[in-house]
């Protein structure tokens, strides 16, 4: 059967939990309330939603650039760090959207900020792999790496290095 041959029935608001009406009634009510709240959020917080979408797209593009493991130890550490940071941030992305649409603005904005800061960290480490060492304990006998850069410092450095690109 071809995908175009499949007719998807209109099932209405299908809950994640299936069961008898007396079992799922509360979930349906919660779902309806959250959808109403989400529609209001779309009007009141369109800019924040735009930022979330942009951050998610940038995460996707960061993964598309790929990770190469046939490189120097310094670059390998940077790739590993980027992979871990992007994965952690993506874990927050769906929660950020759900929180925003449900009207839990403070934790939603915190999660979106986490996404943005993660992108900055990854872009910074991609440009300067040596800075990945600041995220790990130094090996015994090795010097302590400089501290992690502050967000404003990273933005300024990235703007100087990539003047024609939007940093985030």
Residues 55 and 133 in one domain: yes
Examine residue 52 and state whether it is found in any structural domain, yes or no.
yes
38/63 same-domain check: no
- In this structure, are 33 and 76 located in the same domain? no
CB 109, CB 72: distance < 8 Å:
no
In terms of residue numbers, what domain contains 119? 45-161
The Cα-based distances of 92 to 2, 47, 120, 152 in angstroms read: 36, 19, 16, 22
pLDDT in tens, 44-99: 888 888 999 999 998 888 888 877 788 898 899 999 999 999 999 998 898 999 89
75 and 117, same domain (yes or no): yes
Condensed to tens digits (0 to 9), the pLDDT of residues 3-58 reads 455 565 555 655 566 777 778 788 778 877 887 888 888 888 888 889 999 999 98
């Amino acid at each position: 059967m071809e995908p175009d041959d499949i007719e998807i029935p209109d099932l209405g608001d299908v809950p994640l939990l299936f069961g008898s009406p007396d079992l799922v009634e509360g979930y349906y009510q919660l779902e309806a309330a959250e959808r109403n709240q989400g529609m209001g959020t779309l009007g009141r917080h369109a800019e924040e939603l735009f930022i979330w979408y942009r951050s998610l797209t940038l995460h996707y593009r960061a993964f598309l650039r790929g990770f190469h493991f046939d490189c120097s130890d310094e670059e390998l550490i940077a790739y590993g760090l980027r992979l871990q940071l992007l994965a952690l941030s993506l874990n927050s992305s769906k929660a950020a959207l759900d929180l925003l649409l449900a009207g839990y603005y403070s934790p939603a904005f915190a999660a979106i900020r986490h996404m943005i800061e993660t992108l900055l960290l990854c872009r910074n480490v991609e440009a300067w792999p040596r800075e990945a060492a600041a995220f790990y304990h130094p090996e015994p006998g090795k010097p302590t790496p400089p501290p992690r850069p502050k967000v404003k410092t990273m933005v300024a450095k990235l703007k100087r290095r990539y003047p024609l690109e939007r940093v985030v």
